[in-house]
Structure 1
Amino acid sequence: MLIAGILLVLVLVGAGLIWKRDSAVEVAPPEKAAAAEETASGSIGSTDAARPSAARGAQRWQFPVRSEAATKALQARAEAGDAAAQRELALAYDRCLMVSLDPADYPRQIHAFASTRGSAEEAAIAEQAGQALMEECAGLDDGQRIPLDAITMWMQQAAQGGDLEAIATTWRPANTHALEQAALWDRVIAEHHAEALYALSNLYQADERDRRFGDVLAGDHASTALELAACRLGKECGPGSVFMRTMCTAAGACADASYEELLLRALPAAERKVLQMQVEAVLQKLQRQGWASAEPGHR
């Protein structure tokens, strides 16, 4: 079932930065190291490089790519102690980990992967996503192999530097008091931080999540409802985003669609309705708990 694979997609592999999901991935795309989407910081933008268009010709976006110059600037900011840059660098390393193992062979892997997609449009999107990823990764450490511990190191440094998304990503409630768990949720809500909310949506945070949302979240899609709420509140999950680029290269879900649209397509009508109702209920509760607006663009 497609949704089972989608729910596992954003996992920082190796090095202990793992966001657990409910079940195993059922597809085998070339980028087995899944990633998290970039924040909307402007450091990743579209590229002028030619890429194949989606088959139906209606696609108006290109997958974003960070240029080599922007990548070097990002690394310089991270090395200078910028916590947000350290988090972005950790995510870039995670996305590029598998590409760096054999960059010369990655184009063949992408082409083979694209040839297994279910339609010409999906195949074109897969080719686009793989090309965009290769362009980004070529500028990271000059294309050298990425050490596993670099992902952990930069994300932990970002958390130590106070970056809220990094704190939420690396946080382990088993090692903290319940009051600290509640305080982290309170901070995420007070700061309207959609990316950190997404990071808190997984099963490790189930106790505090259930305390806050247990009256409106139930069943297999409780975490998914929080994820979609985060997308509606500002996390970049739309068509052509880095998030959806990774959905394609890491989970095989190559579509000219948002994360929510992709998930809803994979569900039977009855489950779709339940999930949509849960997302709306979560948004209402978040507003009552202090999230001032359910509009995107929290920063």
Structure 2
Amino acid sequence: MKGFEDLKRRAKAGDAVAQRLLADTYDACFFVNLDREAFIKGLDFNRTTMRDPTHLPFLEQMATERLAKCGAVEGGAIVPMQIIRGWYAQAAENGDLAARLTDNALSQRKVDAAEAAQLLEDVLDSNDPAAVFAMGSTLVNNYTLTPGDPAEGLMTGELASTAWQVAACRMGYECEPTGVIMGNLCLLQNACAGEDYEAYLMRELRSDAQRELLQRRVAEILRLVEGQ
């Protein structure tokens, strides 16, 4: 696949964003290429257990696209997790902020309060949807609170991680119905309603009060990102 080979070429040439995206691509295909036969059998199980038959076409679309994509990634070969982690680490070293957050989480590296505060400032200043999403995905690993920390309201409490992710979606991160995030949810958890990530999260919340809380938390993050 020309797109994959071009991405790999740019990553090997030292492009930090391409290095992160290459790691993302390998990661999205890991559970497919690890055992394609088992993956296909899992799809058969998903078809028989899907509660809403109107969701089946979306499952078929996601499965077809993922199998084709992953068949073109290294010819369908298994890419070991250490290589995936290595590309995230390389991207982080070359300055990609989202990769830095991800690398910290994968290596289970706990940052101190000073570095955590700097990470938060960097993410808010970056205007980078990928970094904002990674902050939400790795919040536990990348933020250490000190007593009276002014960022406590952003980084702790109910729906903190989710709020960062939704903020990233609104900034343009790939949260659309056919993106990798929703593809993973469909293929792995049978969440195949054809909705985007924010709509999925809103539907999964238990009450209107939680939805209102999430909206407030997202608005606050976006306000800070925009420098208001």
Q: TM-score, normalised to structure 2's length?
A: 0.85
Q: How large is the RMSD of aligned CA atoms in angstroms?
A: 2.5
Secondary structure at the aligned position of 2:14 is classed as coil
What residue in structure 1 maps to residue 171 of structure 2? 233
Higher relative contact order (CA 8 A, sep 6+): 1
Answer whether contact 1:114 1:122 (CA < 8 A) is retained: no
What residue in structure 1 maps to residue 142 of structure 2? 205
Cα gap change, 1:73 to 1:282, in 2 (>3 Å): closer
What residue in structure 1 maps to residue 94 of structure 2? 161
Structure 2 Cα separation of the partners of residues 112 and 265 of structure 1 = 24
What residue in structure 2 maps to residue 16 of structure 1? none
Aligned partner letter, 1:251: Q
Deviation of 1:148 after TM superposition, in Å, equals 2.1
Answer whether contact 1:114 1:127 (CA < 8 A) is retained: no
Matched, 1:247 2:185: yes
Q: Which runs of 5+ in 1 are unaligned?
A: 1-67, 293-299
1:178-193 mapped onto 2 (5 Å cutoff): 178-193=113-128
Structure 1 Cα separation of the partners of residues 20 and 109 of structure 2 = 23
1:111-122 mapped onto 2 (5 Å cutoff): 111-122=44-55
Aligned partner letter, 1:205: N
Query: Mean Cα displacement is larger for which, 166-175 or 208-217?
Result: 208-217
- Percent sequence identity over aligned pairs: 32
What residue in structure 1 maps to residue 24 of structure 2? 91
Aligned partner letter, 1:231: C
Going by fraction, where is helix more abundant, 1 or 2?
2
Matched, 1:273 2:212: yes
Deviation of 1:220 after TM superposition, in Å, equals 2.6
Query: Mean Cα displacement is larger for which, 79-88 or 153-162?
Result: 79-88
Secondary structure at the aligned position of 2:159 is classed as helix
Matched, 1:224 2:159: no
Deviation of 1:212 after TM superposition, in Å, equals 4.8
Answer whether contact 2:98 2:135 (CA < 8 A) is retained: no
Aligned partner letter, 1:185: L
Aligned counterpart in structure 2 of residue 127 of structure 1, from 60, 75, 79: 60
List per-residue Cα deviations over 1:216-260 (Å, max 9, x = no partner). Answer: 676431221121112112212122222221221233322221211
Secondary structure at the aligned position of 1:171 is classed as helix
Deviation of 1:132 after TM superposition, in Å, equals 1.0
Deviation of 1:107 after TM superposition, in Å, equals 2.9
Deviation of 1:146 after TM superposition, in Å, equals 2.0
**When the two structures are aligned, how many residues end up with a matched partner?**
222
Q: Which runs of 5+ in 2 are unaligned?
A: none
Deviation of 1:261 after TM superposition, in Å, equals 0.9
Structure 2 Cα separation of the partners of residues 211 and 117 of structure 1 = 46
Cα gap change, 1:279 to 1:143, in 2 (>3 Å): same
Cα gap change, 1:215 to 1:275, in 2 (>3 Å): same
Aligned partner letter, 2:66: L
Answer whether contact 1:114 1:124 (CA < 8 A) is retained: no
What residue in structure 2 maps to residue 80 of structure 1? 13
1:101-116 mapped onto 2 (5 Å cutoff): 101-116=34-49
Aligned partner letter, 1:246: N
Cα gap change, 1:215 to 1:122, in 2 (>3 Å): same
Deviation of 1:134 after TM superposition, in Å, equals 0.6
Deviation of 1:174 after TM superposition, in Å, equals 5.5
Answer whether contact 2:104 2:142 (CA < 8 A) is retained: no
Deviation of 1:119 after TM superposition, in Å, equals 0.8
